[in-house]
A = this chain, B = another copy of it.
Amino acid sequence: MRTGVWLVGARGSVATTSIVGALALRAGLAGPTGCVTELAELRGPALPSFADLVFGGHDVVATPLVKRAEALADAGVLPGRLVAALADELATVERELRPAPAGGSQADRATATIRDLDDFRRRHELDRVVVVNVSATEPVARPHPAHADPATLRAALAGPEEVLPVSSLYAYAAVTAGCPYVDFTPSTGLRLPALRALADERGLPYAGHDGKTGETLVKSVLAPMFAMRHLAVRSWSGVNLLGGGDGATLADPAANAAKVESKQRVLGETLGYQPQGGTRIDYVESLGDFKTAWDLVTFAGFLGTGMRLEFTWHGCDSALAAPLVLDLARLTAAAHAAGHRGPLAELAFFFKDPLAAPTHALAEQWTRLCEFTRRLHAGGSDDQPG
């Protein structure tokens, strides 16, 4: 099953780490640590192998992939020897990267994007192309009447106004080109009625939003722990300090807002009430690609006794995100092959703000993911399509 993985933001940290990692895995130069789909519970014939994956993508910057990879090696995100060993393979991927379409109306840019996707699929004789958004987080989008349905949207796109946020324009192009779409960012992406309707028309599956890699991952197991033990969480405060490209983007309060919002949801929905306290994201340039998150949880036990839990998470965001990007591409490709359509609630395990998902508790999400994948491997898509 030859599968294209088209990365929007293809020269960013997450994209570069994903590409280097997949190439390293294929070359037998690295093990699958961090790849959920390589666990015994999920492995199986329905998923495209790493050798089956072909990478391409768009970006607004032109820094050569190998330069980005070297910078990530200097920053301790990638082993330098891997980057050196994969220079040829990286050059091959480099040839598949395209500048993000610019100029003209949004309809023009969509058309150019679709053309890039079609060319990519044809050139490599791919069974399908999964589009994954790993570009910079955009500010919370403003509503617009054209978001309501496909026809209105199509008409508006041709006009001079920028009716869609960029992430949604990519989603529109992906869906129109018949590509399943995954949003690893908190941006709007496919979350507009017009785009969902289009995806439904085309029978496409999609997944999102916002890869769950750090503080929220930990929250998604600790919050259920408090709930299962009937402990009353009084406050949950968190601070995220990060540098790197994503950090710089999030230094912008508007992008920050989108992210913080998706981080908060897990608590209220898991506990059944909203504890006091909030989450902060602060940009500290010198922290680079490593993020430090600190959370303080105060809670009451039996007869009101006050207690506390605090944790510090010191993680490399790109190293956490990249294997999940590969997992999502493989799973979404398999879901598409099996005829699933609409939001893939079973992939909630991967996201801070999962689409259509009934729970934020990681262990439940895991159970659903395992069952879903088992069905994919068993070829059982017919009886219960997503």
Contacts and interface: CB of A to CB of B under 8 A. Distances in A.
A99 to B, nearest CB: 28
Interface string A287-303: 10010101010101111
Interface stretch (A118-126, A143-151, A274-282): A274-282
Contact of A292 (B220, B296, B322): B296
Given A39-B230, A307-B320, A309-B313, 4 more contacts: A35-B230, A230-B323, A237-B282, A280-B282
A294 B239 CA distance: 10
Interface string A301-335: 11111011111111110011011000000000000
A307 B314 contact: yes
A235 B362 CA distance: 23
Nearest to A312: B310
Contact of A302 (B278, B323, B366): B323
B221 A34 contact: no
Given A285-B276, A296-B292, A296-B294, A302 B232 contact: no
A305 B320 CA distance: 9
User: Which of A39, A280, A304, A364 has the most chain B CB within a 10 Å cutoff?
Assistant: A304
Contacts of A239: 237, 239, 280, 294
Contacts of A221: 221-222, 224-225, 363
26 contacts: A17-B303, A21-B302, A33-B230, A33-B301, A33-B303, A33-B304, A35-B302, A36-B230, A76-B76, A78-B305, A228-B349, A241-B277, A276-B284, A276-B286, A278-B282, A292-B310, A294-B310, A301-B323, A305-B319, A307-B315, A307-B316, A307-B319, A307-B320, A308-B313, A362-B363, A363-B364
A202 interface: no
A44 to B, nearest CB: 15
Contacts of A39: 228, 230
Given A239-B280, A311-B311, A77 B36 contact: no
Contacts of A315: 301, 307-309
A350 B380 CA distance: 37
Q: Give the 9 A-B residue pairs with the shortest CB-CB distance, closest first.
A: A363-B363, A305-B319, A34-B302, A311-B311, A301-B319, A221-B221, A234-B286, A308-B314, A302-B323
A228 B366 contact: yes
A356 interface: no
B284 A237 contact: yes
Contacts of A17: 302-303
A129 B310 CA distance: 40
A125 to B, nearest CB: 29
A32 interface: yes
Contacts of A234: 286
A20 interface: yes
Contacts of A232: 33
